[in-house]
Structure formats: C-alpha cells, structure tokens
Amino acid sequence: MTSIAQLTVGLTDLVAAFLFMYGLKRMSSPVTAPSGIFVAGIGMLVAVLASFLYVFDVGAAARPFLITNIALAIVALVLGGGIAWWAGKRVAMTAMPQMVALYNGMGGGAAGAIAAVELFGTKSPETTPLVVTLLGALIGAVSLSGSLIAWAKLQGVIKNPLRFRGQRAFNMLVLFATLVVGGVIVAIAQGAGVAFLSTTEFIYLFFACALVFGILMTLPIGGADMPVVISIYNAATGLAVGLEGFVLENPALMIAGMVVGAAGTLLTLLMAKAMNRSVENVLFSNFGTVSKRKGGRIKGSLKPTEAGDAGIFMHYAKSVIVVPGYGLAAAQAQQKLYEFVKLLLAAGVSVKFAIHPVAGRMPGQMDVLLAEAGVPYDLIFQLDDINEEFKTTDVALVIGANDVVNPAARTEKSSPIFGMPILNADQAKQVYVVKRGEGKGYAGIQNALFYADNCNMVYGDAAAVLTKMIEAVRGLGVKAAA
Amino acid sequence: MNFAIHITGFVAIYIFMLAAFAGWVIIGGVPAILHTPLMSGSNFVHGIVVVGGMFALLNAATVQEQIIGFIAVLLGAGNAAGGYAVTRRMLAMFQTSAHVAKHPHHTRARRPRAS
C-alpha cells in the first residue's frame, strides 16, 4: 500500500508541477490567461487531494494521532480555504493590493510553520537540511510579518511610515541576531552544549527575531513604493516554499516555489527600473522625507477650471489620452471614468489610456481597475507604446496621478525623481489635471506640469469631477436634440 | 518497489536552477497590462505550500506539532484558495473592444462594492 501511495503522490505532484508551469505560461496573454489560472487551479486541486495519501506513509510515532490529524487537516483546509475564498470573491478591486499582500503573507507563514514542525520534530538532523530549513523559516517568517505590515499600510491601518535615526543599523542588528540564533541552533544539533537556553527556546527566539525583522524592515517604506515591496515578498515566499520543498524532498514545492521566486524577482527589478531606483534604494532610503522643494522657482500659476467646461472641451477634441493614477483608485472612480470615456468615444473622439508601470499600489493595478470598469484592453497602452503620441494629442486628462507626469524627472537633476521615465502628458496641446487639492505628490515635490501654460487644474474628488463632466457632455446632447 | 523520492544536494541545486530560469523566461514574456494578475497568479502557485503543510500535519506526533501543522495547512489553504479566487476575478475582466461590441449586454463590468 505504501508504494502505491508513494507512486500516486509522486505522479500527481509531477502533473501539478507541469500544470503550474503550463498555466503560468498561458497567463502571458490576456486572451489565454483565464484558462491559464484554471489549468494551474486543477494542478493545485489534484496535489491537495493526493496529499491525503500521506496517511499510508506516516512514521510510527504519528500513528496514534492519525485520525485526529486527518480531522484537523480537513478542518484546516475547509476553514482556511473557505474564508480566503469568500474574502477573495467579495473584496473590492481597489483593495486588491492589500488582499494579495495578505495571501502572500499566509504562504510565507505556512512555509515558516512547516519549518517549525521540522525543527521541533527532528532531534539530530544533518547539517544541510537543517541550514536550509532555517533559511526557509527566516524568509517565510519575514515574508509573513512584512506582508502583514504591507497590508496594514495599504488598508490605511498604519498611516505614516515609521522612521527613526539609526534605523538601518538597528534593522541590520536584528537580522544579525537572527542569524546568530540560527547558528546556535545548528551548533546545538552538532553536539555543542549551550547552557542558558534549551533548543526549543532557541527556536522560538529565532522565529521571534525573524518576525520582528520583517516588521522593522517594512515599517519605514512609503505607500507609493508598495508595488516593489509586494513584489519582493511574493518572491520571498516563493523562495521559502522552494527551500521547504527541498527539506520535505518534494520536487513540486521546489519547482513551484522557485518559479515564483524567479518571477517575483524579475517583476521587482522591472518595478524598480520603472522608478529609476535600485531595489536597495527602495528598501533602505528614506524616500519621501526629502526636504520640501523650493516651490517659488516654478514659473507660471495654477489655473483652476470647472469640471463641466473641461468635459465639454474634451467632447470637441479629436484625441484624448487619459493618465490614471492612485487617486482614481482611492476615489473608486473607474466606472465613472469609463462612462465619461464612452460618451467621448460616441462623439467620435479618439480616446486612449496611458499607464505608467508604477501607477497605483501594485504593478499593473490601473490595468485591472480599468478592466473592472469594462474598458477593453486594446484601449490601454503602456508607457513606451504611447509616450510619443502625447505630442500630437489634443488633451491629456490626468486623474489622480502626480509624480508619474512630473517633468522635473526629465530636467531637474536635484529632484529625487530625476531620471524616472515619465508619461509626457505635458506635451499634449491641453492638459487637465483632476486632483483633490493643491497638495504635493508622494515624493513631496512640486509638479511643474501643474503650473504650465497649457495646463488647467480641476479640483475635487475624481468621482465627483467625472460626474460633472458626464452631466455637462450629456447636457450638450440634450440641447442638440431640442 | 519503492517510489519514495530522495533529493540530494546537487540534484536540488539543478532543480532550483532550471526552475528559476523557467520562471524568469515565462514571466519575462508577460505584458505589463497583466502584471497584477500575474503577481496574484504566482502568489496562488506558491500556495502549493499547503501540500507541505499536509505532510507536516499528518505526520505530527505531539500536540505542539499538531498545532503548528494545523496553522501551516490553514494558512497554506488560505493562500491557495484566496490567490485563485482573486486571480480568476481579475482575469475575467480583461476583454477587447471587439468582445464588448459583440456582447454589449454581457459586459463583465461590476458595480464597485463597498470595501
């Protein structure tokens, strides 16, 4: 029975690993992507069902617990899976970044918990698996607590980045302490006698240090850097899962974990590149606390205009490019935006959406929000594909975006965002900026675009502004019909 | 016959190396428009950790191991189920102009829900 169970588990894991890779491959195009996740889902389902066959292969010590363990497993699967499924089905699209952070933290926590069972369970293991287990435990625990902090920040539970003097040195100290405790655990396993704490206590200390490090590392990072942070923790959890897969001698975990680790790393580098910053800079520089820029140096003035006038102007334009940013998500105005855009399209205006790689709070968040509103994805263009078109466009409509259209990134060497590729919205003949107030962007710097001669400000909540624009344009139609 | 899998150091490193390359190449081809579903999808894939949790829980021989194993399966199952649910939802929304024109009443746009 044992070998049949082993053969079945081995084969299903092989099938699962194949389906994951194939599913991810299919996710590289919007056309095949829905079937891609479905394929990967089948892989997950068979792997989980087959994992019950482990009951035929348990050690002698675990036999008396088997019935209880099976019951616990079913309860855990139904409870964990059920709640997460329910939450995932009903969460608002605008809250997606924190949801992904949360699920990711759960994966890291699971990897850490598996490592803990291994550490507590085996009394004198070999050094290599022990070191790998500890490494997976460290990465998993950091990913868990770090993701929870990221969730709290995105959810608005933690409002401001926490920063203090010598923070970086302190964080490094905590990491160093974690590694030392890990080293002690390895030394004990090799027979070294350490008097003042038991092995169990050292293991608890190790996890405590790792969890604290994850919290400390994430606290100082600002909201707009979250795309990079979520991406890093995604890669980290993948890596932790892969390492625990090695310890459990499960190639499916190894492959799935490492594929995600590599994918997350690549995505992280892409995000950092889009901001023209290194990953290290995102994690460790206190960006956002940069001293307030001398505002007086910018020529021109802010020219507020009425939402209705702006709407009518766009109705008579030939071409409009919409630049959405986090403000659109915050105002949940994506449906209103598409409603307005549909009116423009019906009037024969050419409308396109221009998406900056780091707009929003996770990579590609704007694309998802627009898709949710029903915007066809062939109207949505990425930075490199559309940037040349601003020059020949009548109107650029900037909604809730700031730093990603700041011309200072092109011209001003002293600016903290200098060198970041931006959307050339300032090159359009007319620019409308929809913004809640006169505040600065995340980077704390003035935006010369707002003061430019071809730019008008439309103040107000994005949803309210768009409603007025829709009413104004509809009003035109009514008058024409009358 | 014995079908237990044993993975030694070098074999593990080869598996890791090839898997990392595969991940890099597969994801390298994904257009930026799909970055969020992709991240959520890869998030789902590392939910396979639930299988490791099952192994740990079913082999638990002490109450401590049972508790930690239970947490592992609970969190892993949440990772997998939640990751799948949100990725499906996101991907179902992507559609072309042609599709919208053909099925004007089938638009998958949903009313925003209170968060």
The tens digit of pLDDT for each residue in A127-174 reads 888 999 999 999 999 999 999 999 998 888 887 777 777 888 888 999
Full strand arrangement of the beta sheet holding A350-355: A380-382, A350-355, A319-324, A395-399, A430-435, A455-459
User: How much is the pLDDT for B102?
Assistant: 65
CB-closest option in A87, A231, A253 to B48:
A253
Q: In this prediction, what percent of chain A has a pLDDT beyond 90?
A: 49
Please indicate whether, in this complex, the C-beta atoms of B33 and A380 are within 8 angstroms of each other: yes
Q: How far is B28 from chain A (nearest CA, A)?
A: 7
CB-closest option in B82, B87, B109 to A372:
B109
Residue A298 banded pLDDT, cuts 50, 70, 90: low
Measured distance CA(B42)–CA(A104) in Å, rounded = 10
Segment A346-350 shows an average pLDDT of 92
Measured distance CA(A458)–CA(B96) in Å, rounded = 31
CB-closest option in A21, A81, A262 to B20:
A262
Give the orientation angle of helix A307-315 with respect to helix A334-346, to 10 degrees. 40
User: How much is the pLDDT for A95?
Assistant: 86
pLDDT digits (tens, 9 = 90+) for A10-69: 899 999 999 999 999 898 888 888 899 999 999 999 999 999 998 888 888 888 889 999
Please indicate whether, in this complex, the C-beta atoms of B46 and A107 are within 8 angstroms of each other: yes
Segment A383-391 shows an average pLDDT of 91
Interface probe, candidates B36, B89, B97, B115, chain A, greatest A C-beta count within 10 A: B36
Please indicate whether, in this complex, the C-beta atoms of B93 and A372 are within 8 angstroms of each other: yes
Q: How far is A169 from chain B (nearest CA, A)?
A: 31
pLDDT digits (tens, 9 = 90+) for A213-245: 999 999 888 777 888 888 899 999 999 999 999
In chain A, % helix, strand, coil (3-state, to 5) comes to: 65, 5, 25
**pLDDT exceeds 80 at position A184:** yes
**pLDDT exceeds 70 at position A206:** yes
Out of A24-38, A196-210, A275-289, pick the least confident: A275-289
Cβ distance A108 to A144 under 8 Å? yes
AA letter at A156: G
Segment A328-339 shows an average pLDDT of 90
Out of A458-462, A473-477, B5-9, B18-22, pick the least confident: B5-9
Which residues of chain B lie closer than 8 angstroms to A255, CB-CB? 15, 19
Closest C-alpha among A283, A287, A286, A278 to residue A165? A286
Closest C-alpha among B76, B44, B73 to residue B56? B73
**pLDDT exceeds 50 at position A121:** yes
Q: How far is A367 from chain B (nearest CA, A)?
A: 6
In chain B, % helix, strand, coil (3-state, to 5) comes to: 75, 0, 25
The answer, yes or no, to whether ipTM is higher than 0.90 is no
How many Cβ contacts (< 8 angstroms) between chains A and B? 439
Please indicate whether, in this complex, the C-beta atoms of B22 and A259 are within 8 angstroms of each other: yes
CB-closest option in A103, A363, A373 to B83:
A103
Out of A165-174, A191-200, A437-446, B20-29, pick the least confident: A437-446
Q: Are strands A380-382 and A350-355 parallel, antiparallel or unpaired?
A: parallel
Q: What are phi and psi of B89, to 5 degrees?
A: -60, -45
Closest C-alpha among A460, A473, A339 to residue B111? A339
Write out residues in chain B with pLDDT < 70, as ranges: 1, 99-115
Which residues of chain A lie closer than 8 angstroms to B23, CB-CB? 24, 258-263, 266
Average pLDDT across chain A, whole number = 87
User: How much is the pLDDT for A329?
Assistant: 86
CB neighbour list of residue A75: distance below 8 Å, 6 or more residues apart? B70
Active site residues of A: 403
Segment A326-345 shows an average pLDDT of 90
The model carries a pTM of 0.84
Measured distance CA(A334)–CA(A339) in Å, rounded = 9
Residue A293 banded pLDDT, cuts 50, 70, 90: very low
Closest C-alpha among B45, B32, B86, B89 to residue A262? B45
